[in-house]
Every structure is written in C-alpha cells, then in structure tokens.
Structure 1
C-alpha cells in the first residue's frame, strides 16, 4: 500500500482505511482537502500542474491540495498541503464541503482559503508555474479546456457562496 486514506460514505462517515489508488480504481469515496490562496489585494493564486504529473498533467488549477491522511481533519490536511506545495505555514479557513463526482473518481472535497502575505516557495513536483490573478482573469481561465474539471466545479460552488442570487432579495 502506498498512500492510505479513509474510505467514507455518502455522509462522510469513515468506513475503513484503504489504499488511495484502490479507492480511485473502485470509485470509493475518500477525502480531499483543498486550499484557495489570496494575496493582500484579493487576487487568487493560480498554478499549472507539471507535465509529468499523474493527475491532470499540464492543466491549470486555482486550488492546491490533496488527500487527507488517515485520522487527519480537512483543516489539518489543508495546512499540511499548503506547507508541502507552497512552503507556507498557515491555518486555512474552512469554506465549504461537497461530494464531488470527480473526473477520475468521486470524493468529498473540503475547500479552504487563506490570505498569503509573504513569499511562496512552490514545490516544483506540484507546481510548474504560478501567478496571482484577479477574479475576472480567473473566471476566464476557469472556462478554458486546460483547467482541472473538478476545480471548475469547486469554483462555481465557491462563487455561488460569495454571490447569493440577488433575485431572491
């Protein structure tokens, strides 16, 4: 077994511990923690995945993250992934969680956000390129084909939270 994760059900309750590759092959639900990074001007960090990445090579994403380890909360996993992928030590704030159908397999996605005030040191095994984009620039990029599909769904859900339907007021 390589990477162990918690196999969870439709209510995000733990059923057992499994190998992540097996969870993906079998379509078993597991937990993924993601982080949306903002700078002090409110811009979003966007990155391109390395061309040799096993998942979504060369595609753009507005989230960093990965699988939650066994016994790890979404928040703990988000903080760990932030440190591993950007070299930033902070406590990301939980924003939302949803059952993502996933382009590769289904999973629970916990989305967090953090404001980064200092320099970032991207891990080249995870981030081939990065830049800070305005919301409108990100909106344009999200609709492109070379954007991670699951990240597109998360972006739409995030936008719906921050922009409730004004016709209801």
Structure 2
C-alpha cells in the first residue's frame, strides 16, 4: 500500500478514501497541491527530478508538491510539501485551482505560491538539480520535451490568470 488519498469528483467533493496507486491505476480523480517558489527578485525555482523516481524521472518542472493527505486542507498540504521538498518552513499563498487531466491520471491541482528570502535546501530524493529562472527563461524551458507536461499546462494557467485589482 502506498499512501491514502481522497477520491473526489469533478466538483472536488469527496467520494471516498483510496490508495493513491489504485487511484492512478484506475484514473480516479484525487487532490494534489503544487507550489511556485519565487525568490525576492521574482525569479522562479526550477528543478530536475531525480532519474530514479517513479513519476517523470529526469524531467524538468517548476512546481513543487504532491498528493494531499486524507482530511488535509490544501493550505496545510502546501506548507507540508514545501518543507519536505526545499527544507524551509512557510505558508504558501493560494493562487488557483483547476481540474488537470494529467499525464498519469486526472487530479485537482491547487497551485500555491511562496516567496523565499533565504537559501533553499532541496531534498535530493525529490530534486536532482535546481536553478532560479525568470518567467521568460522558464517559458523557454517549458517548450522542451524534457519538461513535465502537467507543469506546462499549469504554467500557462498561472501566467495568464486574471489578477484582481
């Protein structure tokens, strides 16, 4: 058994609790939280996944994150995943949520953002390499085949979202 997640519907309402591997195998929608990490100059943390991970090995992404645990609110999941992946505490701010068709299976993606003013300490089991890129540099990288396609979809939504005034 891997980890338990909540199987949800197209309105993000809970249908039940399932094993995440089972959700993936059957294409059941579940919840994922992702985090955009920016530095104080506005650059975005971009990373390459390790070659030995099960999902998207060796591919580039700009989002940190993972599955939301059973009963865990999105903001708590974002804070937990951020600390696990870059070794810093923080409370990411919610930006947008959308139903992602996903390469592996569909999921609700709650995208959050955080600005850091200290060095990140990435977990090597999660991040093999990283750099800070401008939005334009990130957009160029996202066009490459070695970029996680779900991340490409989220990037388009993130950069074109309407910002309240």
Would you say same fold, with TM above 0.5? yes
Quote the residue 1:2 is aligned against.
Answer: 2
| Partner residue, 1:12 | 12
Deviations 1:29-54 (A, max 9, x none): 00000000000000000000000110
Report the Cα distance in structure 1 between the residues aligned to 2:10 and 2:86, rounded to whole angstroms. 31
Aligned CA RMSD, in angstroms, stands at 1.2
* Aligned match of 1:65: 65
Please name the residue that 1:30 is paired with: 30
Point out 4+ residue stretches in structure 1 off by more than 2 angstroms: none
| CA offsets 1:74-122 (integer angstroms, 9 cap, x no match) | 1111100000000010000000000000001000000000001111110
Provide structure 1 residue ranges, at least 5 long, that are not aligned to the other structure.
165-169
Q: CA deviation at 1:73?
A: 1.0
Q: What is the aligned partner in structure 1 of residue 143 from structure 2? A: 143
> How far has the Cα of 1:2 moved from its partner?
1.9
Structure 2: gaps (5+ residues): none
1: CA distance between counterparts of 2:94 and 2:107? 17
TM-score (norm. length: structure 1): 0.95
How many residue pairs end up in the alignment? 164
